[in-house]
Amino acid sequence: MKSFAPKFVWFDGRYVRDSEANVSVMTHAIHYGTSVFEGLRGYWNSKNLNIFRLEDHVKRFRNSGKVYSITLRFTDRQISDAITALCRKNNARQSCYIRPFYFVGRYGINLHVTEKSPTHAAIVMFPFGDLFNRNGISAGISSWRRINDSSTPPLAKMGGNYLNSILATQEGKRNGYDEAILLDHLGNISEAPGENIFLVRDGKMITPPSSSSALEGITRSSVIEIARDLGYDTVEREIPRTEIYFSDEVFLTGTAAEITPITSVDGKPVGNGKAGRITQKIRNVYSDIAMGRNKKYSRWITPVY
């Protein structure tokens, strides 16, 4: 299939070409990272484009801005409708990534951001396939620690937060790994730069809690529910660094990464060095849901057409 080329973006309530969505160089978010974003996937199944957990993403979208008193000047319904309408306007008939974001606009160098500070909102989209190798990736523990709630709240999806992720990613790539894994401020496993992490030991799934600076990921919560329905227990608890080396399986979850197996950590193989059985089971169910083939989870899917 020929890749579609999105012609339009949504900007402050209007559908315009990307070249027309302009802001001042005095935009506050450019200077201080005062932006809020979400990432969603649209899955094309040859008949329709299915957006995965649209309402949950929009809810978190608004909540993230509340932490910093940044106002989203559109209702949840307006944002949801704009996302689906943008897909239709761009005639998206291929799996894609959708990025809504809002940010503080022209506000000088004033650090006193309030609910009354000027904001802009935008939505962009583009064709998107696999972020990582589906057969598995290598990962290395980063020397950079994950931001924590005592300094920079990690539960809010703020643009500025991801400078921490950039440092970890750069280090991981320099060291020859596909992805990094960050520890929290206590030295426990937290998450990857853009993904949550799960370990499997003796048939039981383990994932770090939000107190370990792990984002309350929507794909993460989906995986926990899928695993429970498949009969696997999932425990949220602190995970010492060493425990990851004892794991039978390790995988990442996220909108872009979906469910990605980690086959080695710090050069040490995970299990037999291949994608694990539980990982593959969960990934298969997740794929069926996203493609609209599993009616049990149809509440998670919003058809575009």
Residue whose C-alpha is closest to residue 39's, from 93, 91, 100: 100
CB 139 within 8 A of CB 181: yes
Give whole-number Cα distances, 274 to 26, 168, 260, 262, 265, in Å. 49, 24, 11, 8, 12
User: Is 268 part of the annotated catalytic residue set?
Assistant: no
What the block records as the tokens of 298 is 């149809």
Please tell me the distance from the alpha carbon of residue 51 to that of residue 113, in angstroms, as a whole number.
33
Catalytic member of 66, 116, 157, 268: 157
The single-letter DSSP state of residue 49 is: E
Q: Rounded to 5 degrees, what are φ and ψ at 103? A: -155, 160
What the block records as the tokens of 118 is 């000027």
Please tell me the distance from the alpha carbon of residue 206 to that of residue 151, in angstroms, as a whole number.
26
Active-site residues: which are they?
A: 157
